[in-house]
Structure 1
């Protein structure tokens, strides 16, 4: 079976789309599928990292016109027009010389126009989305996020015969998280280890803001692990800050995130896909919303008491970080309760959700 994934990463897009696609790609390759990626050459792309994970990557050229001020909606994600991206993608697919069984698309800049154009060169299309703000022409749609109105969000946006996989039971998590879940840390409310990770790019530099707020709490009794992605434009500065203060440990583009999360008693981070990794391991977290697509789901999970939502990043100050941190440190019972509620959000289905997805892709079976 031949499967191609169209997704991008950049300093503005972040790394979440690629990372969750890599998780699915590893599962599919483990079942014998040939999986490759198509990515655009954007600043902060993860093409070399994808190759290091054992997958072929076809690079679409950077569109020099994408820096012009008249970009239309969607071009800020694709960095070109949908027609141009579709034609370039089609050109790559035609060079394969074999049938493409599935095209998996994880991209906010792609909708039914692009997907319909590619129908002639692939057998089936799967979409990974969480915005529910545009029409899709696809056979399967996955949205692994939690929303109050999850069942209704895609009504009228997908074909009637499209199979929907909705909710955290279909989380795309790397195998390391399932291993960590079996030996999951049970938090007592006491905090001796903190994890700071605001996503792969963190263009708003929430990491430094958080470290500034936590600086008065750094002591021999508190270990803080700070993680950045390779595309983080401030990673050198963050590394310098960590090296100049005791008990701050810097990590870049890690492959042991589950281990770091399992060690932590409390986390500071952004909304987005990392929310589900933290919830899956019951890690209480203080979350800052750093992108529009994080607003709805972050609030929904916060309403359940599974995370503490600080709100939009421009309104989050070091003082507000300190205020929440002090409250949680003074009330250990809140940390224990947050762990329980985080685990309740994702349930206990283990890897069965993603296994069902893989079965659909290989057998076309929907239970």
Structure 2
């Protein structure tokens, strides 16, 4: 168990950044609060809905108000260092691809435990005490660009989940004989509007009437387009904005269509069969979930996607109960329920 009690987290969300960094930090913050600690989020940009959620969860939120401070700059690092001193934070965690070498160097001037959440060795050098990368490809990356003291926690065994998933720890997913329930989610922002592409593809399917739940966040700028396509659909489509407990929808779903990242790990834990599409460079591990672990059907990059490809794969998966059972079981073997404090020992 961690002995230290004051945690400061630096992360942001926006249409460009997405909400994934904040969402996985919520898992850390929940675990910290649960064992009696205090948590402060420091953000430069964040949606009002997500900021409200942080406050509702019992976390403090500090906004960087200076307009001349760029995300990831040395000034940003200095601001975070001074805030950590003011709060007397025992541990500081940063999550975001903008927080590179110079930012980390500035932050490391203060003697507190310093943790970086990473996905693909985005920094040219690491000054952290601990670097966590939960990707399947993490062990293949070169992390020699670090301090000798830096501890590396690499691989899916270091996946931590939000507390909403704990109630499903002993779940064995039911695999329907007649699946009709499809969950569609591409994170809080979905800058490439993959959701609309999926709706178009599902509308090609005429032989089945599907129940579709689309999860989007406040940072998604395509809501009106998605609504228009959904209204014209012969399927039953519900658009859910800012769903707090996504585990409920995952438990309902017979399958999901999604991208990589935190949501993929959550779907694997829940045993939800899925079709996955690469929508960002940091999702480079997606093919491994398919080729090595048979835990999803990876159908390629968003730029190469078509209605025909996606609708065809969706029908095939819906009709193949054996494949869905295998995919579900493999996902649950790969990702187990663990909280941040179960993983990181300081």
Relative to the length of structure 1, the TM-score reads 0.85
* Equivalent residue for 1:269, pick from 242, 258, 276: 258
Shift of 1:274: 0.8
Unmatched 5+ stretches in structure 2 = none
User: Match of 2:136?
Assistant: 146
Q: Please give the residue correspondences for 1:97-176 in structure 2 after superposition, counting only pairs within 5 Å.
A: 99-134=88-123, 135-147=125-137, 150-176=138-164
The one of 285, 305, 314 equivalent to 2:303 is 314
Map 1:1-367 → 2, pairs under 5 A: 1-41=5-45, 46-61=50-65, 63=67, 79-80=70-71, 82-96=73-87, 99-134=88-123, 135-147=125-137, 150-188=138-176, 190-217=178-205, 222-243=210-231, 245=233, 246-295=235-284, 297-304=285-292, 305-346=294-335, 348=336, 350-351=337-338, 354-358=340-344, 360=345, 364=346
Report the 3-state secondary structure (helix = DSSP H, G, I; strand = E; otherwise coil) of the residue aligned with 2:131. Answer: strand
What is the CA-CA distance between 1:4 and the residue it aligns to?
0.3
Residue 4 of structure 1 aligns to a residue in which SS? strand
SS at match of 1:238: helix
Distance of aligned partners of 1:27 and 1:122 in 2 relative to their CA distance in 1, 3 Å threshold: same
Distance 2:29 2:92 in 1: 12
Alpha-carbon offset, residue 85 of structure 1 = 1.3
Deviation at residue 122 of structure 1 after TM alignment: 4.2
- Deviation track 1:19-39 (CA, whole Å, cap 9, x = no partner) reads 000111011011111110111
Q: Which structure is richer in relative contact order (CA contacts within 8 A, separation 6 or more)?
A: 2
Give distance in 1, aligned partners of 2:260 and 2:37.
Answer: 32
Cα distance in 2, alignment partners of residues 25 and 53 from structure 1: 9
Cα 1:113/1:131, change in 2 over 3 Å: same
1:197-249 deviations in Å (ceiling 9; x for gaps): 11110111111111111124478853111111111101233234445545211
Stretches of structure 1 lacking an aligned partner (at least 5 in a row): 66-78
TM-score, length of structure 2 as denominator length: 0.89
In structure 2, the residue matched to 1:70 is: none
1:45-102 residue CA offsets vs partner (Å, 9 max, x unmatched): 833332232211111236469xxxxxxxxxxxxx546212112323433443xx2211
CA shift at 1:121, angstroms?
3.0
